Structures are given as structure tokens and as C-alpha cells.
Amino acid sequence: MPQRPALRRRAALIALTLGATAAATLGTLPLAASAADAFPAKPIRFVVPYAAGGTTDLVARTVGQRVAEKLGQPVVIENRPGAGGNIGMEAVAKAAADGYTIGFGAISTNALNPHIYKHVPFDPRKDFTPISLLGTSTIVLEVSPSLPVKTVPELIAYAKAHPGLTYATAGTGTSMHLAGAMFSQMTQTGLTHVPYKGSSPAINDMLGAISA
């Protein structure tokens, strides 16, 4: 992505990352899925609308393994990141309503995106049937140890002294992005957003900048 070099070039100053997955996650599948007596008779596709290696992906793989053991059929994890989770969840919405495709929805895909994007290719209230709450997590504010700040007030002061300080998130329109935008607005620091296709690549770039 064109924004990533900016994070690397100014790593000593701007390695600010909002890490963690969405606050609440729901397993979903197309509405009116068929409940055949022989279900499941083939592998189940578990779509994760974020990059591999992130919190959502790790939860999906842990849950998928347990579900596979319980049902006696493989659960294949399919990462389809992009557009704040819209790409992956669109694939779930358009899949056959037979129960063999499930998706990992999150606060972004199920609550935020319909109000942020002009066109969302699915209706989370009509196109999906909730299965289970898989977990919750907290949005965490992290900075590189090379940044000369130890507290939030110190970070605010530093950001004001260095206009354009960037922060990375799991993607545009995610809860992390909105939290960062709100933080920037409330503190009048004018932070610059660097969107990634998931939290994992953002954190990897941050770690790479620290070790460089």
C-alpha cells in the first residue's frame, strides 16, 4: 500500500499503532441456511475478512479447529481482507445459503460500515444469521519505545510539536480508525491515518521499524 513507506521512513517519530480486533465479534452465515440431516457432509469454509495473523484470524483458527473436531469435517480458514472487512463479508453474503460458508463478523462489518461506506454490498441485519459471540477485545494505544513518550499527555504534547504524526490501524473505517480519529480530534493533534489490511501487517511494520 502506498501509505506504508511513510510509517517506515519516520518510524523514530511516528510508530503509533492502534492494535486489537473489534470490540465484539459474531460468527455469521447466510440467512435461511439449509439444515440437512447429513450436515455437514463436506468441508466448511470460514471466511475471515481480515489479514492472516491478526487477532480475528487467530480466534477463527482456534474456533475452526474445535468445530472441525466436533463436526468431523475440516473447517477451512479463508482470509479475504480489504475495505474494512466488506470484501470478505460480501463473499459470505453471496455464498449459497447451505451452511457451508460462515463468516467472522466484527463491530466494523456488522455495525460501523453501513454508516461509513456509501455502498455496502450486504445488509448485516438481513443477510446474516448470528451464531455465537466468539469474544471481545479492547483497542490498545501503542507507540515505539524509540518515541520519547511514556504517557498519553506526553504523546499529545509530542504530536502537537510534530504535526502530521501518523498512526496505523487495521484499515479505513474500522473501530481502531474511528478511535484514532476521535483521539486526534479531541486532542487537536492532527494525526495522519495509515490504513492497513488488518492489524497484523501494521504491527509487523511497527516491529520492523523498531528493529531497523
The fold adopted by the segment(s) 4-20+138-211 is D-Maltodextrin-Binding Protein; domain 2 (3.40.190)
The CATH superfamily of 24-135 is Bordetella uptake gene, domain 1 (3.40.190.150)
pLDDT, tens only, 153-205: 999 999 999 999 999 888 888 888 889 999 999 999 999 999 887 777 877 88
Please answer whether residues 175 and 107 qualify as being in contact, where contact means their C-beta atoms are separated by less than 8 angstroms: yes
Query: pTM of the predicted model, to two decimals?
Result: 0.72
Ordered by start, the domain boundaries in the chain are 4-20+138-211, 24-135
What is the pLDDT confidence band of residue 30, given thresholds at 50, 70 and 90? low
CA 99, CA 31: separation in Å to the nearest integer? 9
In this chain, the answer to whether the domains covering 4-20+138-211 and 24-135 adopt an identical fold is yes
Three-state SS for 62? helix
pLDDT, tens only, 36-72: 568 899 999 999 998 888 888 889 999 999 999 999 9
**Element containing residue 203 per DSSP (H, E):** helix 199-211
